[in-house]
Amino acid sequence: MKFKVKFIINMKHIIIIISSILFSTLFYNQQIGLNISIFSVLTVIILAVSNTHKFKNKTTLLYIFIYLLTAALVFIQYTNLSILANIIAFLTLIGSVTESKSSIYVQWYNGIYTSIVGYFHRKFIKQNIKDEDETQKKAIDVLHITKLIGIPLIFIIGFIVLYKNGNPIFNDIISKINFDFINLQWLLFTVLGYYLFSNIFNPVQVDSATNIDLQTGNTLRKSETFSIEALKKEKQLGTILLLLLNILIVFYLATDIISLSTINSTHASVLSSQVHSGIYTLIASIIIAIIIILYFFRGDLNFFKDNRILKNLSYTWIFLNAVLVILIATKNYNYIASFGLTYKRIGVNIYLFLTLIGLITTLLKVSKVKNFWFLMRINTRIAFGFLILFSIIDWDYSITKYNINHAPSLDLNYLINLSDNNAVLLNEYRESTNLNTEQNNRIFTKHLDYIKTVNNRNWQEFTYSNLKLKKLLKKL
């Protein structure tokens, strides 16, 4: 039995050492590319070796799929969003291996904790659990070894420095000692890899947060003692407040619809100000709406028999806010139709979409008598899903393609300033159109730089664009 445990511990160290050498080979002095994909596969293998029983869980299997998908996306798309999605998928997977039943935000918490400090957590557990004598024995051994290495080293370095100044021949010999053949930075990078892999080998959890999360359900419970009189007063307050807010938002929407139908400006500044002022209104409106609804439906008012009017007013308030979202989306659509896509305009659309989902989940919370944690759980899960979904799209390429083909007013300088993912597309556009000399040169230089960068990549930095370029050069 003892031999078996020792064998497993040794195997663990061998696996981590091999992985850390691979880590250095993949990442030391390299840009992101194929290395992220290989690292992701390596991480999954290590987790599978050390946590085999947890790999039968469906949630964990789903997160493995998502993690590997984002790793493939980094190789194919090579966008910042796909790299961010890959990091978050990594943390989610680690958190899921720790405790698959916890909420996704607790999984992120556990994932971050494990990745940055799992080794120290296990050290703390070991030092407090191990048999006292055994710990003491080991502590003495470690201290002795440290003394054996440290003290002579300090004295030798000290005396070398002293003797150097006293004897020129000794000084010459010492000065000729060259440690350049050892790449210390590579070694330190390998140690970093060892630390990371030893952290994730056996994922750890933040007990307090995980336990509270597992004990907290999604449904609200009726408290045993509550005052009907107090609930009646709260219902009255809620009804009046929501009624007035509904009237106000109806009035605002009516004026907004009138202004949308009367203003027919194609000036960028007018459309931009319309969208942005609408967005600020929307941000304030939605946040206040959700806070008000959460406040009134935080407890026993959900179980109060006479709460029908308050509930209906809340649904109306949510519906009217959804109409506000649609109105701003229309303004944003007009803006995009006239001036093409930009990151800000896409961001507005994404924000509107997520807001709409936030309103729907708030509606679900009220109708199904759920608590605040239900909202947190479902909204963070949806946000994670959309992050993965949006990372599938190569935005720079899509923006360029859309603007070239559909935008009546093309801002070419904006497209040139985007990442190299649109370099080939812009070059094709340059060859087919008569541009001014400055823009022509900028696109030509961008394309040339792109080809140079792609061609100079090491195998660790390869992306799908390397394969595409290879095909293109073969054709030529």
Partner 1 sequence: MHILSNIGKSSLLAASIFWIIILSDTFNWDMAPYIFLSLIPIYVICALTILITICPIFWFLENDNYSKQRIFKTYFPIYTIIAFVLCAYSIYKSSFDVFALSFYASAYITTTQSWVWFAKKKRK
Give contact residues for partner 1 (rule: CB under 8 A): 109, 112-113, 116-117, 120-121, 123-124, 127-128, 132, 136, 157-158, 160-161, 164, 174-175, 179, 184-185, 187-188, 206-209
Residues 95 and 102 sit within 8 Å (Cβ to Cβ): yes
Q: Which is nearer to partner 1, 123 or 222 (CB)?
A: 123
Q: Which is nearer to partner 1, 190 or 302 (CB)?
A: 190
435: three-class secondary structure by DSSP: coil
Total count of residues recorded for the chain: 476
Give the side-chain half-sphere CA count within 13 A for 219. 4
Encoding tokens for residue 33? 């590319």
Q: Which is nearer to partner 1, 208 or 269 (CB)?
A: 208
Q: Which of 472, 436, 439 is nearest to 454 (CA)?
A: 472
| Shortest distance (Å) from residue 112 CB to partner 1 | 6
Residues 113 and 206 sit within 8 Å (Cβ to Cβ): yes
Alpha helical stretches, state H, 51-79: 58-76
Encoding tokens for residue 285? 């409106």
Element (H, E) at 170: helix 168-176
Residues 453 and 24 sit within 8 Å (Cβ to Cβ): no
| Shortest distance (Å) from residue 191 CB to partner 1 | 9
Q: Dihedral of CA 274/275/276/277: which sign?
A: positive
Contacts of 13 (CB under 8 A, 6+ apart): none
Encoding tokens for residue 401? 């393609």
Q: Which is nearer to partner 1, 120 or 295 (CB)?
A: 120
Q: Which is nearer to partner 1, 175 or 432 (CB)?
A: 175
Q: Which is nearer to partner 1, 71 or 206 (CB)?
A: 206
| Shortest distance (Å) from residue 193 CB to partner 1 | 14
Q: Dihedral of CA 152/153/158/161: which sign?
A: positive
| Shortest distance (Å) from residue 380 CB to partner 1 | 17
| Shortest distance (Å) from residue 95 CB to partner 1 | 12
| Shortest distance (Å) from residue 177 CB to partner 1 | 8
| Shortest distance (Å) from residue 145 CB to partner 1 | 14
Q: Which is nearer to partner 1, 128 or 456 (CB)?
A: 128
